């Protein structure tokens, strides 16, 4: 049996485990003050070509989103996201838990439309009752989105421009950032992100790490961000755990290399479906593919290939999700091919 249910089915890239074992008994300070974390921060600053950037490691994605958004917003502000954005749906209300409303816009294949954003903001401030409403303080985007799609540089720049015009922060959730950067049509490089937003995170959990995300503040972190991280329960005592992992991922370009594997496998998977005439719900260039399978097709896979049901359609078909990752092998794809 092979599983395509998600991009966190396996442990960590073997080089990470090797590094953990090699350094295991070296004594280091806690809370990110260890030399591994410092080295990882340096490598990330180099990779994003922003020497002055502040970098923090947090154990998971929801944690990271909740902490960064709370730190960047004022108490009375909310965050704008598309209807299918992770913070709007699948974080159990973690943003609201910190007191902030998620203000929803429509999603277009998972993406926010710049015009709709600007219309929303113009309408907001034109509304005579705006002072009685949650004031938008930030735009949240996922790159890639929850539907595997990506923004172009032009699209991101437009949204950034609107944010600047309306004094909004822009924050990008890069849970799968590597898979976006490694995808074919992507015209953005890692170094573009610091210029385009106020904060973003480089996802580790889904891209080769056991856990951990690297938050990058291009300018400088909100004051006392360390304390805010602790307040949110998001500070790892053994900061070395995330330090070593990101130090490894950002050595010899490992992060992008293993991301490329996911994309290559995803395109093979995509080809399998299209060759069979199976329609794709969305044309995703990244590691998540969304074939629409009939009941019969799903039965054939039953017990041999695992995948996720995304949405049930009238008539018994389903939008399904097949995710590849740094760990997906050609053999995994072969198995899928053999039973499709």
Give the C-alpha separation, 45 to 277, whole Å: 45
Answer whether 184's CB lies under 8 Å from 285's CB: yes
Q: How far is the CB of 139 from a second copy (least distance, A)?
A: 17
Dihedral, CA atoms, 203, 205, 208, 209, nearest 10 degrees? 110
Nearest partner of 340 among 284, 291, 282, judged by Cα: 291
Q: How far is the CB of 311 from a second copy (least distance, A)?
A: 9
- How many other β-carbons are positioned within 10 Å of the β-carbon of residue 296? 9
Of the two residues 165 and 312, which places its CB atom closer to a second copy in the complex? 312
Where helices occur in 215-294 by DSSP H, the ranges are 225-231, 240-249, 254-275
Of the two residues 99 and 161, which places its CB atom closer to a second copy in the complex? 99
Of the two residues 151 and 310, which places its CB atom closer to a second copy in the complex? 310
Classify strands 77-82 and 102-105 as parallel, antiparallel or unpaired. Answer: parallel
Q: How far is the CB of 155 from a second copy (least distance, A)?
A: 26
Of the two residues 140 and 151, which places its CB atom closer to a second copy in the complex? 140
- How many other β-carbons are positioned within 10 Å of the β-carbon of residue 97? 12
First to last CA, the chain: 13
Answer whether 247's CB lies under 8 Å from 40's CB: yes
Q: How far is the CB of 215 from a second copy (least distance, A)?
A: 13
Of the two residues 151 and 179, which places its CB atom closer to a second copy in the complex? 179
Burial class (CB in 10 A: 0-12, 13-18, 19+), 104: middle
Of the two residues 46 and 164, which places its CB atom closer to a second copy in the complex? 164
Answer whether 235's CB lies under 8 Å from 224's CB: no
Of the two residues 146 and 188, which places its CB atom closer to a second copy in the complex? 146
Q: How far is the CB of 80 from a second copy (least distance, A)?
A: 13
Q: How far is the CB of 187 from a second copy (least distance, A)?
A: 29
Answer whether 171's CB lies under 8 Å from 197's CB: yes
Q: How far is the CB of 150 from a second copy (least distance, A)?
A: 21
What DSSP character marks residue 108?
A: B
């Amino acid at each position: 049996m092979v599983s395509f249910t998600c991009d966190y089915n396996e442990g960590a890239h073997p080089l990470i485990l090797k590094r953990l074992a090699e350094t295991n008994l070296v004594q280091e300070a806690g809370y990110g003050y260890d030399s591994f974390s410092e080295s990882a921060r340096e490598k990330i600053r180099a990779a994003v070509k922003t020497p002055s950037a502040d970098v923090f490691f947090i154990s998971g994605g929801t944690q990271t989103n909740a902490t960064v958004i709370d730190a960047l917003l004022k108490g009375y502000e909310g965050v704008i996201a598309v209807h299918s954005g992770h913070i709007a749906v699948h974080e159990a209300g973690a943003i609201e838990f910190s007191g902030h409303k998620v203000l929803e816009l429509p999603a277009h294949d998972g993406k926010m439309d710049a015009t709709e954003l600007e219309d929303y903001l113009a309408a907001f401030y034109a509304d005579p009752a705006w002072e009685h409403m949650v004031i938008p303080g930030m735009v949240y985007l996922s790159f890639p989105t929850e539907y595997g799609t990506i923004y172009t540089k032009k699209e991101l720049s437009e949204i950034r421009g609107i944010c600047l015009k309306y004094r909004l922060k822009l924050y990008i959730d890069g849970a799968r950032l590597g898979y976006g950067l490694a995808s074919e049509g992507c015209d953005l490089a890692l170094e573009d992100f610091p210029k385009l937003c106020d904060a973003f995170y480089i996802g580790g959990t889904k891209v080769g790490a056991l856990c951990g995300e690297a938050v990058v503040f291009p300018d400088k972190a909100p004051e006392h961000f360390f304390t805010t991280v602790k307040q949110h329960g998001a500070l790892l005592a053994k900061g070395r755990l995330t330090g070593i992992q990101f130090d490894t991922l950002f050595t010899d370009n490992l992060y992008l290399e293993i991301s490329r594997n996911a994309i290559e496998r995803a395109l093979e998977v995509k080809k399998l479906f299209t060759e069979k005439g199976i329609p794709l719900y969305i044309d995703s260039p990244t590691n998540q593919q969304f074939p629409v399978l009939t009941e019969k097709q799903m039965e054939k896979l039953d017990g041999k290939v695992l995948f996720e049901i995304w949405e049930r359609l009238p008539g018994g078909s389903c939008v399904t999700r097949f995710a590849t990752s740094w760990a997906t092998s050609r053999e995994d794809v072969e198995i899928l091919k053999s039973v499709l």
